[in-house]
Amino acid sequence: MNFKPLGKRVLVKRLEEETTTSSGIIIPDNAKEKPSSGEVIAVSSEVTEIACGDTVVFGKYSGNEISLEGTKYLVIETDDIFGIIG
């Protein structure tokens, strides 16, 4: 994959949400909420505070979804990222 975000944007792959609760109840797909964290796959040259491989937290409805080589990603502006986990 060869994708380079422009401006102050990053390419993020959403982290999968848990499919069972701590008590063992299975959550059906239609009841799951979209996760609001993901792994940074690519960053723009203008972004200095976030690096590839970082796990970030972002707003629930942030970014624009794109599909590259059959995988879904989000292109998110750095202003929509709340912080880095880790």
Count structural domains, the chain. Answer: 1
CA atoms within 13 A on the CB side of 32: 15
In-domain check, residue 41: yes
**Residue 22 vs residue 13, higher pLDDT:** 13
What pLDDT is attached to residue 44? 97
Rg for the chain (alpha carbons), in Å? Answer: 14
What pLDDT is attached to residue 34? 63
In-domain check, residue 4: no
CA atoms within 13 A on the CB side of 81: 26
Cα→Cα distances 86→38, 53, 54, Å:
12, 11, 8
Q: Is the pTM of this model over 0.85?
A: no
* Domain span at 81: 9-85
Specify the CATH number for the domain of residue 58.
2.30.33.40
In-domain check, residue 3: no
What pLDDT is attached to residue 18? 58
